[in-house]
Amino acid sequence: FLMAATDPQVLALAAQITESREQDIPLLLLKLKGILDSPSLGCEESKKIKQDIYDYGLTQYCLLILKRDHSQLHGAWATAAQLAEILSHCCVGLEMKEDPEEFYKNFLPSAIDSLLILGKRLQARFIRAIKDKEKQDFLHWFQIVTDAICWLFRGHVRLAACVLQNDRFLQLLITDDVEIAIIMMSMLNNILRINSTVLLQVEEETLHSVLDELVYKLSSTTNPAVGSAATKLLLLVAKFCKQLVQLFTARYKGLKGLLSKQWIGKGFDRELNQLLDLLYLEQSSGKGEMQKQHQAACIIQAVWRGFQTRKRLKKLPQAVTTLQRSFRAKREQELQQLTKQKEDETLKLQMQLQRQRAMRLFHERQLALLEVVHASQVNKYMEEMEEKSALAIQRFWRGYRARRIFHQQKQSLKEYKAAIIIQRAACKFLEKQRRRRPLSPWKEPKGLTDEQRLSLQQKVDDYIKLHPASQMSEETSKELHMQAQAKLAQFLLRSRLDQRAAQRREALLTQVNTDVELLMNAPGLAETTEKDLGAFMSRSVPVATKARQSHNTMLKCTRWPWWKKLGDEFMEDSAIPDDAINTELESLFIGRRK
């Protein structure tokens, strides 16, 4: 059915392209221009032919050839420009009913990109050309490509935003060549006339880039053609997009002065005056709006200041009360400090007077004693007093030094005990691991060879010859035996005496430790009772006290948290650590006396 409805010219051209070489395809595709420009075609017939061209892939062929290196084509850039024109004519008026998403979202944007790439290459060739004839040719082909782009987005309005957002369009617009700049601004003019809101659809960065380039062309050139094209474009933007006029006045503050000073009298005063009127109107409306906002701000500030003043006046009595209260409190504090300072000075003076009075009484008592004591005993008495004083001073100093050393060694003693606990736990853990480790298989020692056995026997015989054994008589051996028995008896007797002396020393040391601990824990003389004196008079009370303390220590050990029982988890049997009990029992005296 498709073959019967297909145009015979398109069908023959498709068959010819299929059978031709790759380098001949561009010239064959140029025949599409004659098919499309046939005067006998009506509107419906033209759409049908364009549909057939697309269905047979001839449009895709044109797009693929435009992406290739055009210098290798037959006819080079002229062929490329004609193919661009053919591609735009084939796409305009084509309505896709099957798979429209592929055509509108992929094929048409790709065609726009290919045409802009071709325009960029033609612009580069135009800049590098030296001869005028070559420049005119490249400019003519560039004009054909831009017309093809305009023709394409006239048929498909949604492509206008795609053209503006393309980076190559901005690259073509940002040029110093007068001819290229005029052509690109003409294309932009056509885009705005076809889709007046396209500038509001593109990204803000793209919009600013386009407007920046137009304003730059007005400020950097004196060519009337460029100035006229840029002015007409800005006027068109201001008319179609009213909200962009405010952007002109805010972003380009010197634009009005630039237009009025540099471009008046250049042949396009009518468009220039219209643009200036729009800018001045926006500025005046902006000033009126700013004046209204200024008046509104002044009113708000006045109302706020009045509110704050009334609020402060309401709080004034409370503030005065607070100020008076704080002043009285401060004055009361100063009076208390002065009273305390006076009391401290009075107390210091009284203590000084008491010290002086006591010193005077002491000297008077000494003088009285000297009067009573015989003259020959005075020196002896003074020596005894000096010795007692020295002993008292030494006693106080030794007590102070011992207490200081004890406090300094307290922390190190704790660390030492903690280190012992950790080391004991680690040793037990390692011993457990060693026991669990499987024993290595038994390896029998290597036997001696005959040569080794003979050499060892020879060494033994030589040693016996050099060191012969001494023979001892029976009487001599009995005498040596009796001497050994006597020395052994003396040793056993001495060891028994030494053991008793060691036990006695341990008992004395234990008694001293118990007395020292009782003295350290005893209350002061002012708080001493008869019950406390009984602890020092009787030896059974300290023993009972230490036994009770040891019992409490054992109970406390059972309630210890896990981190204090760190060594217990490696013990064979659950038991209370011995060092805690030994620490308490080391100083326990069992009642032994001399």
Helix then strand then coil, % of the chain, to nearest 5: 80, 0, 20
Contact 185, 230 (CB under 8 A): yes
In order along its 594 residues, the chain shows pLDDT tens digits of 334 356 777 777 777 777 777 777 777 777 777 777 765 555 677 777 777 777 777 777 777 777 776 666 666 788 888 888 887 778 877 777 777 777 778 888 888 888 888 888 888 888 888 888 888 888 888 888 888 888 887 777 788 788 888 888 888 888 878 888 888 888 888 888 887 777 777 788 888 888 888 888 888 888 888 888 888 888 888 777 777 777 777 677 777 777 777 788 777 778 778 877 777 776 666 555 666 777 788 889 989 988 888 888 888 888 888 888 899 999 999 999 999 999 999 999 999 999 899 889 888 887 887 777 777 777 887 888 889 889 999 999 999 999 888 888 888 888 889 999 999 999 999 999 888 876 666 566 667 788 888 998 999 889 888 887 666 778 888 888 999 999 999 999 899 899 989 988 888 888 788 778 777 777 777 777 777 776 666 666 666 777 778 788 888 888 887 777 665 544 444 444 444 444 444 444 444 443
Spatial separation of the C-alpha atoms in residues 185 and 213, rounded to whole Å: 10
**pTM, full prediction:** 0.45
Helices (H), 241-268: 243-251, 255-262
Cβ proximity of 567 and 421 under 8 Å: yes
Per domain, the residue ranges of the chain are 8-202
Its sign, for the CA torsion 542, 543, 544, 546, is: positive
Taking the C-alpha atoms of residue 97 and residue 89, their distance in angstroms, rounded to an integer, is 19
Give the C-alpha separation, 326 to 318, whole Å. Answer: 12
Residue type, 286: G
Q: Distance between CA 406 and CA 410 in Å, rounded?
A: 6
Dihedral (C-alpha) 148, 149, 151, 157: value to the nearest 10 degrees? 160
The answer to whether the beta carbons of residues 255 and 211 sit under 8 Å apart is no
Reduced to 3 states, what is the DSSP secondary structure of residue 441? Answer: coil
Q: Which two tokens stand for residue 98?
A: 């099957």
* Helix axes 132-155 and 76-91, enclosed angle (nearest 10): 10
